[in-house]
Chains A and B, each alone.
Chain A
């Protein structure tokens, strides 16, 4: 297990490096820049700016400088806001984004797994039908739309919950955003869980377990859940990265102070520094998540470890 983990970690390093390279060059080669404002800057100011951001160096040199700084944990400066660095943005916005994404992740994964199991055990009975409908809505309705509808119903008409905004430490302000974020994730998890659970319940080894007289509850708990979780686990990595990136939208819609707000503003202002730094940060997170999921996978399916 440990050597498997080590191999996985080592194989992730070149992927990360290549991904950084791809991001860097795509953004640098893009037309236009942060300094192409409405009004042209005086040449000497422009030259100073370019020197400050190393833009006067050759492209390979810029790349090497960037990677060197990255290795020291520096994701680079903003090119629009003076003295603001990606690390500042992370300090301000990331805890919030992470809290929201993680709470949505935990809630949605738990709900999704349980719901999928209930649907599978009651296949083609009413709990299954109700669930399939709720799932379908979750899969199909995009989050900005469900956000708008929920804001309208619970925030405006019923006035049960705040429709948006943020008051520090207020949980009620988080209910709607987390719901919006969690719903599609829970829906997909339960869909996967339902499918794999139905398949597992029909396998020979579950029949063996039943023939041993273990009782249905033990059969489910010990024999069915673990193998049924395998496809769910393989979705957790991509799922969490959907949640992290999806929270950008939800933050924007609900006016919440996470990374999303800054990122979208930065994109609109062509602040390449912020865009590049944030993208690379997310990429690292996604790679790390995939590694984590691989480990979980190896635990669930012992065969994987020997590959």
Chain B
């Protein structure tokens, strides 16, 4: 677990609006080790999806990324599209939130699956389809040979997400980015899907980035996690440590607003207030208007992401005990 497959340095994403610009992601730094699973957690609008879309070169037209995303010695940020197309789908693959709309409704599954192999492995069509069918079987699709001829609308949401997973893993990529892969699915299917992720990424030695707002998803799966707020990383470290000993008030808030995990609290405490608009981030620490531990320094000065003991990092000035009982 020492092989770094992806290292992100000072990644920022900016969107040009008509008169202004919005910084969706600011100065993000992290590295991903081979085969590990990292969760990226945050509310919607925290920049978690945009950060990874920018690595995949999938930002909307008005978006630009700066900084570096090193895959081996290739910098994916600002890379020429043709060069990037030799990497994405092969070494780094992505699965999206909504399986209902992420497959092309007018093409048969086998076409959508096999084209990846034809492009990246140079297989001929027949061989590519045979491989695709095998992969469908691996992700637990019954009668894969028959289903390969189906159109997406003939499959349920869970089945479609399985197809997406199969498609992403066809080339056995080094990195798989899954953007809220279970959000749109039934709760029962969610658990199966997470199991599938775990088994397959272990089998293929693929590093998994799991983007989610649901800590319940993170708990059983991720080795490490990164919490994002207002486009910045506010805390990161090993999942179990963050769960039992959160050091950032936002992480604490997330834990307390998630059922099952908030077993230490008597009741659920949703985080007060709304996520900030990226156009008007508050001065100082962007979390301060919603923070129970906020003091005067937080209003003026932005806390930098700084190392704490045990290889963890957090961006908060507060050093006292971190429980709601302490404030209440």
Residue pairs across A and B with Cβ atoms less than 8 A apart, 25 shown, are A203-B101, A205-B102, A205-B103, A205-B104, A206-B104, A208-B96, A208-B167, A209-B104, A211-B89, A211-B93, A211-B96, A212-B167, A213-B85, A213-B89, A214-B89, A214-B119, A216-B81, A222-B111, A222-B115, A223-B104, A227-B104, A227-B105, A301-B106, A302-B106, A303-B153
Q: Indicate which residue in B56, B90, B102 contacts A204 across the interface (CB closer than 8 Å).
A: B102
Other A-B contacts than A204-B101, A214-B119, A222-B115, 14 sampled, CB-CB below 8 A, are A204-B96, A204-B102, A205-B102, A205-B103, A211-B89, A213-B87, A213-B88, A213-B90, A214-B85, A214-B116, A222-B107, A301-B105, A303-B151, A303-B153
The answer to whether A211 touches B88, judged by C-beta atoms less than 8 angstroms apart, is yes
Known contacts A211-B94, A212-B119, A214-B119; A302/B89 CB under 8 A: no
The answer to whether B58 touches A213, judged by C-beta atoms less than 8 angstroms apart, is no
What residues of B have a CB within 8 angstroms of the CB of A211 in the complex?
A: 56, 58, 88-89, 93-94, 96
The answer to whether A226 touches B102, judged by C-beta atoms less than 8 angstroms apart, is no
What residues of A have a CB within 8 angstroms of the CB of B102 in the complex?
A: 204-205, 207-208
**A306: shortest Cβ distance to chain B, in Å?**
9
Is B269 an interface position by the 8 A CB rule? no
Residues 114 to 129 of chain B near chain A (Cβ within 8 Å):
115-116, 119-120
The answer to whether A226 touches B89, judged by C-beta atoms less than 8 angstroms apart, is no
The answer to whether B93 touches A300, judged by C-beta atoms less than 8 angstroms apart, is no
Is A210 an interface position by the 8 A CB rule? yes
Is A218 an interface position by the 8 A CB rule? yes
The answer to whether A213 touches B98, judged by C-beta atoms less than 8 angstroms apart, is no
The answer to whether B107 touches A226, judged by C-beta atoms less than 8 angstroms apart, is yes
The answer to whether B96 touches A214, judged by C-beta atoms less than 8 angstroms apart, is no
Cα distance, A213 to B56, chains bound together (Å): 9
Per-residue A-contact encoding for B68-81, CB less than 8 Å = 1, 0 else: 00000000000001
Is A215 an interface position by the 8 A CB rule? yes
Is B86 an interface position by the 8 A CB rule? yes
**B128: shortest Cβ distance to chain A, in Å?**
13
What residues of B have a CB within 8 angstroms of the CB of A303 in the complex?
A: 105, 151, 153
Interface residues of chain B, those whose CB is within 8 Å of chain A, are 56-58, 81-82, 84-90, 93-94, 96, 98, 101-107, 111, 115-116, 119-120, 151, 153, 164, 167
What residues of B have a CB within 8 angstroms of the CB of A223 in the complex?
A: 104, 107
The answer to whether B105 touches A205, judged by C-beta atoms less than 8 angstroms apart, is yes
Q: Indicate which residue in B89, B105, B107, B153 contacts A212 across the interface (CB closer than 8 Å).
A: B89
Closest residue to A301 on the B side, CB-wise? B106
Known contacts A213-B88, A213-B89, A216-B81; A208/B103 CB under 8 A: yes
Cα distance, A215 to B116, chains bound together (Å): 11
- Helix, strand, loop or mixed for chain A's interface? helix
The answer to whether B115 touches A210, judged by C-beta atoms less than 8 angstroms apart, is no
Cα distance, A280 to B179, chains bound together (Å): 57
**A213: shortest Cβ distance to chain B, in Å?**
3
Residues 200 to 238 of chain A near chain B (Cβ within 8 Å):
203-216, 218, 222-223, 226-227
What residues of B have a CB within 8 angstroms of the CB of A218 in the complex?
A: 115, 119
Closest residue to A225 on the B side, CB-wise? B106
B84, B85, B104 interface centre (most CB from chain A within 10 Å): B104
The answer to whether A207 touches B96, judged by C-beta atoms less than 8 angstroms apart, is yes
**B242: shortest Cβ distance to chain A, in Å?**
29
The answer to whether A207 touches B58, judged by C-beta atoms less than 8 angstroms apart, is yes
Cα distance, A223 to B101, chains bound together (Å): 13
The answer to whether B58 touches A210, judged by C-beta atoms less than 8 angstroms apart, is yes
The answer to whether B120 touches A226, judged by C-beta atoms less than 8 angstroms apart, is no
Cα distance, A301 to B153, chains bound together (Å): 10
What residues of B have a CB within 8 angstroms of the CB of A203 in the complex?
A: 101
Per-residue B-contact encoding for A177-205, CB less than 8 Å = 1, 0 else: 00000000000000000000000000111
**B109: shortest Cβ distance to chain A, in Å?**
12
Closest residue to A229 on the B side, CB-wise? B106
Closest residue to A224 on the B side, CB-wise? B104
Q: Indicate which residue in A215, A222, A227, A302 contacts B85 across the interface (CB closer than 8 Å).
A: A215
The answer to whether A214 touches B115, judged by C-beta atoms less than 8 angstroms apart, is yes
The answer to whether A302 touches B151, judged by C-beta atoms less than 8 angstroms apart, is yes
Closest residue to A219 on the B side, CB-wise? B85
10 residue pairs, one from A and one from B, having the closest CB atoms: A213-B89, A212-B89, A213-B88, A213-B85, A204-B101, A205-B104, A302-B151, A204-B102, A211-B94, A226-B106
What residues of B have a CB within 8 angstroms of the CB of A207 in the complex?
A: 58, 96, 102
**A89: shortest Cβ distance to chain B, in Å?**
43
Cα distance, A205 to B98, chains bound together (Å): 10
What residues of B have a CB within 8 angstroms of the CB of A300 in the complex?
A: 106
What residues of B have a CB within 8 angstroms of the CB of A205 in the complex?
A: 101-105
**B76: shortest Cβ distance to chain A, in Å?**
12
